Amino acid sequence: DCVLLSVERLDKVEEVDKANLMITAQAGVTYSKLVEAAEDAGMFFPPKPGDVGAVVGGIVACNAAGARAVKYGVTRNFVKGLEVVFPTGEIVTFGGKLIKNAMGLDLLHLMIGSEGTLGVITKAVFRLVPKPRYSGTLVASFNERLEAMKVAPLLALQMIIPLAGEYLDHDLCELSANYLGTEWPAKKGNAHIFYVCIGESEDEVYSQAEAISKICEENGAIEVLIAETKAEQDNILKIRGEIASAQKAEGSVGDFLDICVPPASLTVLMGRILEIEEKYDTRIPVTGHSVDGNLHPTPLKELADRGLLEKVTEDIYKETIRLGGVISGEHGLGTIRLHNCPLWPDPKIWDIMRGIKRALDPNNILNPHRAFPA
């Protein structure tokens, strides 16, 4: 038995502070409403979770990330203040509209990403940035997955940081496009990376797109397409955003993984995934945020039918950890990943988390058995 606590009535954007570049919103405010309020004031909230219906409390509690993390960081980088209700009923405010704060331990960031295990977030103050004036999108197509993966570290070496850089299997693009009743523009190749560039002028965006295009073409791209209109850009982003929904509708996926490694190790990680495919005679569709090291392999349901799904997942996790990575980059552990936590080489971190949980929630009433092993 449990009590389900809803914050949907805490749905007000309390303030957009242009002078301090801050926005204050209650926990039930949706991502789309938060972004709209910021953009109406000429400002920009960079984190972009996959679901525009996500609410502020959940975005903070899960430290949501998304495609724009490579340029701006994750939700944690934009939270400046929180109002939290603790299991004791006490209401505590952390931080505020501050650029600097050296007052003791950084308890604000302890709450971010805690998945509701330490307190109930009721309000958040976020830092905003000026809204980019121009944007552009390009799609680079490759024959092989490994060729596509090699590009991201090369961009970093040239100090090119796009707003987003997404890896996509071609068949997943087609699946999502068919699901939406539209067309994926790139018809060549088996693997794609699309990049979103932003700038204060059209020339700045064009210059960055040209530099990325040149690197792609010098490293195996068989085609580079530039979305000329906003409608074309929106179509690409929509197809990318609905891939998981299309996979769920098709019903072939056994699991959605969320692994993350240092960005320069992505090519090695993809090579290991290809080896695992061969080992188990299967196909593992992959999407991901290629520029920040975060991939989403989706082992197929047929592996479960053969009793191999957990073995494949564990092999992927082991290779990820060997490369200095983690088994969840942005989705969190929740309950379904807890049995994989013993794979982590240093169990002391779980002891520390359990100690913090006991101190703040001694009766274990907030999301027990979530986020870390009991």
Centroid of chain to Cα 353:
23
Burial 79-89 (b: 16+ CB within 10 A, else e): bbbbbbbeeee
286-310 tens-digit pLDDT: 999 988 999 999 999 999 999 999 9
Angle at 68 between CA 188 and CA 30, to 5 degrees: 115
13-130 with 134-242: one CATH topology?
A: no
pLDDT of 67 reads 83
CB-based contact 189:173 (threshold 8 Å)? no
Domain topology for 13-130: 3.30.465
> Which stretch of DSSP H or E encloses residue 124?
strand 120-127
Tokens of 206: 């064009």
Mean of pLDDT values over 118-142: 96
Q: Mean of the per-residue pLDDT values for the chain?
A: 94
Say how far apart CA 291 and CA 196 lie, in whole Å: 11
Centroid of chain to Cα 153:
19
CATH 3.40.640.10 fits 134-242, yes or no: no
Measured from the Cβ of residue 104, the count of other Cβ atoms closer than 10 Å reads: 6
CB-based contact 154:212 (threshold 8 Å)? no
**Residue 189 pLDDT more than 90?**
yes
Structural domain boundaries in the chain: 13-130, 134-242, 251-332
Domain topology for 251-332: Alpha-Beta Plaits (3.30.70)
CB-based contact 194:236 (threshold 8 Å)? yes
Alpha helices, DSSP H, located in the chain: 31-40, 56-61, 69-72, 107-111, 145-149, 151-157, 170-180, 202-218, 230-241, 243-250, 266-280, 301-305, 309-322, 348-360
**Residue 222 pLDDT more than 90?**
yes
Centroid of chain to Cα 365:
28
What is the band of 172 on the pLDDT scale with cuts at 50, 70, 90?
very high
348-370 tens-digit pLDDT: 999 999 999 999 999 999 999 88
Asked whether the whole model's pTM tops 0.85, one would answer yes
Question: What are the distances in angstroms from CA 174 to CA 65, 118, 240, 252?
Answer: 25, 42, 10, 15
CB-based contact 369:116 (threshold 8 Å)? no
Mean of pLDDT values over 303-327: 96
135-160 tens-digit pLDDT: 999 999 999 999 999 998 899 888 89
Q: What is the CB-side half-sphere exposure of residue 33 using CA atoms within 13 A?
A: 18
Say how far apart CA 265 and CA 273 lie, in whole Å: 13
Say how far apart CA 367 and CA 116 lie, in whole Å: 6
**Residue 187 pLDDT more than 90?**
yes
Percent above pLDDT 70 for the chain? 100
pLDDT of 105 reads 92
